[in-house]
Amino acid sequence: MKVLQRLAVLVMLCLPSLAQALPDDLGQQLLKGSWTEREQLASTLASSPDALSLKAAQLWLDGELFVLKSSKQLVLSVKEDKRYRVTDLVSGADLGLHKKRAIKKVPLNNKLRGLLRTTLSLQNLQSPNKDLRREAIENLLGDTSAESLALLNQVQQQEQNTDLQALIATGLAVDALESGTPQEQIKAAQQLGDSNHPVAAQALLAQQANTDDQALLAAINKSLADIEQRRRFYGAIENTFFGLSLGSVLLLSAIGLAITFGVMGVINMAHGEMIMLGAYTTFVVQSLLPDHIGASLFISLPLAFLVAGATGVLIERTVIRHLYGRPLETLLATFGVSLILQQAVRSIFSPLNQSVITPEWMSGSIVINEMLSLTVNRVVVIGFSLAVFLGLLFVLKYTRAGLSMRAVTQNRAMASSMGIRTGQVDALTFGLGSGIAGIAGVALSQLTNVGPNLGQNYIIDSFMVVVFGGVGNLWGTFVAAMGLGIVNKFIEPWAGAVIAKILVLVFIILFIQKRPRGLFALKGRAIES
């Protein structure tokens, strides 16, 4: 660390209560000053306890600090069409729209960038915010200067959080591995073997290539083997998580098809378009409520169910009811309906994909450790799919409508003779299956872009899940969806996404040759006939 950085550290440690206001001519100094003068200003801003000075330093580091040439004010700038909306940094006042040549970005080079990053990190080490302290420690892990090491030692004694203590210990061990005595190097190599942080493996690999000490090499090799073993273990957990996420998507897209196919024996090629309608419902609700993204998602769920369900009932009443007992003709008719729905969406919303915003509470990741993190949106989708599955089981088992559906599934003629109106049950079943596909579209809108072909990406996989699990059997659909999702994600790393899908398809074909009724056979009209 250079002299100016040392001075900044001393100012931060010795004068933590010093408050500094931004000088009136700071913008002029940043634009016209020499690089040495800018380094002095960077040290002063980044080491100041004043919130505004720290904000200016962070914006400078991020390349988002500008100067309005006419008044030399420090400003923020956001592009609007061909002009820039300018806001005063100090007061927050809107300074109007300006052309690009009216503002200038504050100059920044690699030396300044390193100075700002290091000094801000040192400042954040004293923050009560755990995330800021973690970020500061992460920035210092690669800095082996005496001042940084002294600060890490000091912070290690003060830090109460065990995770951050381990992170600091990793940074100190990296330094010991590079510059310690032979005994200290061996001890550091052993200590780094217990760390999950990427810098530990990097330091061990670097030292492995630069040493001839056999005892140290043995310690390094053992630590690298331990790290690799944990990496494979956490990689398996991550693959399982992504497999469950894919399985949840398959479950949501196939579960409605399972009850439709099981009760009615209809091959519905328009099922994917019900998913698409649910996704577009989410897009429309967000467009109407741009300031309430979180609430719009909850509003979209019942609306998507109603829109897709009503469309399903309309299709059943106008098309499918005339084709019962002719599965090939229902396949062709519903395929035609799917084309009509796709074209209608293209005409209304354009053929381009639409982006749906993910609410803040579904953004980010749950960090288990440096080797494993779980994305929040996928965790929510997994929980949501389980809730939908359990809710559907409840409906089928404990409601009158569900009892009627099960009766029609098992023996349509007997159910009709007992007074059950099978035509109404067919319409209700088709509407329910389509409605569930609609809320599947809401979930999918949080994982991918919304477009006219969204449903086509899942219709074939949905049929594979239904056939593999057993036609009309919800538990079979659940097991098949989760199983195929996990297997697919474990095959992908070494076979690729396309080959993985082909291998799964071949497996299902071979499996159906042995068990034509799927994993869990269900007695119903499709089987009886």
Q: Which residues of 317-330 are buried (b: 16+ CB within 10 A; e: fewer)?
A: eebbeebbeeeeeb
Q: What is the DSSP string of 51-97?
A: HHHHHHHHHHHTT--EEETTTTEEEEEEEETTEEEEEETTT--EEEE
**Gap between the Cα atoms of 42 and 61, Å rounded:** 9
**Gap between the Cα atoms of 154 and 362, Å rounded:** 37
The reported pLDDT for the residue numbered 389 is 92
> Could you identify the residue written with the tokens 């009932």?
313
Q: Residues, the chain, total?
A: 529
Task: Print the SS3 string covering 443-482.
Answer: HHCCCCCECCCCCHHHHHHHHHHHHHHCCCCHHHHHHHHH
**Gap between the Cα atoms of 262 and 259, Å rounded:** 5
Tokens of residue 298, six digits: 């909850």
**Gap between the Cα atoms of 389 and 391, Å rounded:** 5
Q: Report in angstroms the alpha-carbon separations of 269 from 209, 327, 451.
A: 59, 11, 17
Q: How do the pLDDT tens digits run along the chain, 529 residues long?
A: 333 344 344 333 333 333 345 777 788 888 888 888 888 888 888 777 777 887 888 888 888 889 888 888 888 888 887 788 888 888 888 888 888 888 888 888 888 887 887 777 777 777 777 777 787 777 767 555 666 676 677 777 777 778 888 888 888 888 888 888 888 889 989 998 988 888 889 889 988 888 888 899 999 999 999 999 999 999 999 999 999 998 998 898 888 888 877 667 778 888 889 999 999 999 999 989 888 888 888 999 999 999 999 999 999 888 888 887 787 888 889 899 999 999 999 999 888 888 888 888 888 888 888 888 899 989 999 999 999 999 988 988 888 888 887 777 777 778 788 888 877 888 888 888 899 999 999 998 888 888 898 888 888 888 888 888 877 678 888 999 999 889 888 888 787 778 888 888 888 888 888 887 777 765 544 444 4
User: Is residue 493 a contact partner of residue 279, using CB atoms and an 8 Å limit?
Assistant: no
User: Is residue 320 a contact partner of residue 253, using CB atoms and an 8 Å limit?
Assistant: no
